[in-house]
Each structure stands twice: as structure tokens, then as C-alpha cells.
Amino acid sequence: MRILLTGKNGQVGWELAHSLSPLGTVIAMGRDQMDLSKPETLGSVIQKVQPDVIINAAAYTAVDKAESEPELAMTVNGIAPGVIAQEAKNIGAGMIHFSTDYVFDGNSPSPYKEDDPTSPLNVYGKSKLEGERGVIQTGIPHVILRTSGVFSLRGNNFLLTMQKLAKNRKQIKVVDDQTGGPTWSRAIAEGTARILEQSLTKDGVNFLQSGIFNMSCGGETSWFGFAKKILELSGLIKNTELISIPTIEYPTPAVRPKNSLLSNKKLKQVFHHEMPHWQDALLECLNSAKSV
């Protein structure tokens, strides 16, 4: 099994490089080797590697910056995934691709299911939705995993930002009226490996079912709730005063959905995989720093 992985230095990509390695030969590519802002260059790399499956963990993830760089966000997130999928088709490979809760407008009172109508509020969400469509349109064996609020001990994320702010500020104001499921990148990588493991055949990859699957950690919280738990578990809660505010008091270039909770039911039904609760994942993530 030859597994071509993009975005190897990202939160999810870095974990995938580890969790996929027992399943085959992982050929992990960073931006230097596969630049998704230049879709026309991707085909020759894929042809050369001849993978059985391509895992696309590369993405333009700067949600606010995307509002002022819509073309770049659209090329990387909207066009490149379809180009990669078309190249996969040319060589008979399958594909696992990642997407986001931000394809929804957040007005649903209950957790989103995979086939709920999409209606992204921001450029990032629109570009990711376009990417999903590009992959699906090729008709290749595919799994698109929609996740949310990814955190880890590397890169840019809410967990590291809160820890840094708590060390430097007397007061931190955090939005309390956006609900979601924070998700540890390692839980995503382990879930992805589980899916792939069940899809291996002697002729390559044949997913139990192609399509979109939600994959976020269990439970729900607001950014404020998440921040509070981060600081409690990191021993930083007494360092700073955490203040809950409504979104209206924290304007950002990109509008974000109010409720972006994802239902993981389909993932469990089809691939028999249960994601951990976000609080358990957070604790394990923080503990993993101590074991390094």
C-alpha cells in the first residue's frame, strides 16, 4: 500500500504521518514538494509516486485572512482537491480529504448531519465546500472527513493561543455564544487510520462507503468553555481572569457559525469508529507533552 500524504507539517498531517505508517509506505509531502496554490504542478508528483491512496491534509486554514485572500484560499482549498482527485482517478487511486464545520451557517438547533444543506458564511467555508465538490465530482473512491476546532501541541491553534495569553495577560475575553466540538488532531489521525485499515484490499483501496463523514470529538462547548478547560488542565487558571463575551463584542473579518456541532453517527454506523469526548482528548493531548 502506497499512501501519499499532503500537508505533512500541519496539525493533522503530522499526526497522520505517524498513525498511517503501520498501514503501508507513507510518502509524506510538505508545501515544498506539493504546493496546492499551483494545482498544475500536482499531477506530475502524483504520477511519479503512483500511490494507492492520497490523503490530503494540506489546506489554507487562516479563516480570517482568507477574507482578504479569497483567490489563494479558493485555489488551495477549492480547486486543488479536485485536481488531486482527477489525478487519483487517472492512476486508479482513492482519496481521503478533510473539510470543515464552516460549510454550515450555524443556524441549526441540533448537530449537523452530513446531508444537511450547506451555506457557508465565510470565504474559507466556501472554498472548502468547493473542494468537497471537486473531489466528489470525479467519482473516485473517496472519504471526505468534516472536522472542527482542531487543536494540538503544534502550529497555530486555540489551545496554544490560550496558554500563551494566560502567561502574558491579566485578562482574556473569550466568545461564549459559538458552540462546537474541539477536536484533537491525533484523534482525527487515528480515526482516519481506522477507516483506511478497513478499506484495504489486495488491489488497493475500496472504502466501505464513499462520501462525506463528520469526524469531530464528542461533547460540545463554546470557545469560552474550551478556554476554561484548557487553563484549568494546564494549571494556568489562576494566572489570568477569563471573561465570557458575546460574538458581537469580538468582531472578526470572517463571520463564524453560531452552532457548528457535527453529528458523528454516520462515522460510527459505517466505519464503527467512535471519537473521544473533547475533554478526554484535551487531557490526553496535554499529557502527551509530558511523555515527550
Binding residues (CB under 6 A) for ligand NAP: these are: 7, 9-13, 30-31, 34-37, 57-61, 76, 98, 100, 128, 147-150, 155, 185
Give me the helices (H) in 106-222, please.
123-137, 158-168, 185-197
DSSP 67: G
Three-state SS at 210: coil
User: Can 102 be counted among the known catalytic residues?
Assistant: no
Phi-psi region of 162 (alpha: psi -120 to 50; beta: other; left: phi over 0): alpha
- Of the candidates 111, 114, 80, the residue with the CA atom closest to the CA atom of residue 97: 80
In terms of CB distance, is 8 or 228 closer to ligand NAP?
8
Q: How far is the CB of 290 from ligand NAP (least distance, A)?
A: 22
Q: How far is the CB of 153 from ligand NAP (least distance, A)?
A: 12
Residue 258 phi, psi dihedral angles, 5° rounding: -75, -45
**Alpha carbons 260 and 238: distance in angstroms, whole number:** 30
The grid coordinates listed for 62 are 487562516
Q: 286 near 233, Cβ under 8 Å?
A: yes
Q: How far is the CB of 170 from ligand NAP (least distance, A)?
A: 27
Three-state SS at 166: helix
Q: How far is the CB of 6 from ligand NAP (least distance, A)?
A: 6
Using Cβ positions, the residue closest to ligand NAP within the complex turns out to be 10
- Alpha carbon 199 to its chain centroid, in Å, reads 21
Q: 109 near 50, Cβ under 8 Å?
A: no
In terms of CB distance, is 238 or 289 closer to ligand NAP?
289
Q: How far is the CB of 201 from ligand NAP (least distance, A)?
A: 26
Catalytic residue among 60, 102, 112, 124: 124
Active-site positions?
124
